[in-house]
Copies of this chain bind each other. A is one copy, B any other.
Amino acid sequence: MKKSLGANTIALPLPAWVICSYDESGQPNAMTASWAGVCCSDPPLVYFSARKSRYTYACVMAHRAFTVNIPGAEHTAATDYLGTISGRKADKISAAGLTAEPAEQIDAPYLAEFPLVLVCKLVKTEPLGTHTMFIGEIADVLCEESLLDTDGNLDAAKLRPFIYSTADSTYYAVTDALGQGFKLGRHLIK
């Protein structure tokens, strides 16, 4: 039996990804986003949404570039912190014990300690209400070498990903493999 919970954004799993950009004076800035995901295969596009009041909004508009920094479970507290206060008020990246490195192809930094980084050129902005969607073309993916298997593919379990749930404002660990995509449901094909 279903119960109505009204019109809201209760949803899961959502990512908790850290968006990095330079501010107008060239200082690295970081913001955590759960309104974020992949939106196209070719060109490879990813988006995040941000309020106009966020420091990241002006940074990405000015430099037309950002990185999506995907944390492992060891970065849960840092990821939460980076979404809690504004980069106007603190050098959040240093305070979180993290290091900003310049990305090669674009005008944005990335977090050296985070295991997976999507390097993005801003291609479109879409104002939607409280939030504006920033759509970026993925120019490169940077992966920590220790997470690659012998064939050079990312071992997702080693990254120890986690999710954010708006249903209960909680981070949850991603753990056991349940099966392969495009294989697990094959027995249902008649």
Contacts and interface: CB of A to CB of B under 8 A. Distances in A.
Interface of A: 1-15, 34-47, 49, 68, 70, 73, 76-85, 90, 95-96, 112, 116-118, 124, 126, 128-131, 133, 135, 137-145, 148, 152-157, 159, 161-190
- Main SS of the interface on chain A? mixed
B44 A9 contact: yes
Contacts of A37: 11, 14-15, 35-37
B11 A38 contact: yes
8 contacts: A3-B148, A9-B138, A39-B128, A42-B129, A76-B184, A80-B183, A81-B189, A157-B172
Copies in the complex: 2
Contacts of A44: 7-9
A176 B161 CA distance: 12
A173 B179 CA distance: 10
A133 B39 contact: yes
B142 A168 contact: no
B169 A13 contact: no
B162 A3 contact: no
B129 A45 contact: yes
A171 B163 contact: no
A150 to B, nearest CB: 13
A144 to B, nearest CB: 6
A130 B189 contact: no
Contacts of A177: 170-173
Contact of A84 (B155, B173, B185): B185
A36 B13 CA distance: 10
Contacts of A15: 11-14, 37
B129 A40 contact: yes
A153 B102 CA distance: 43
A30 to B, nearest CB: 12
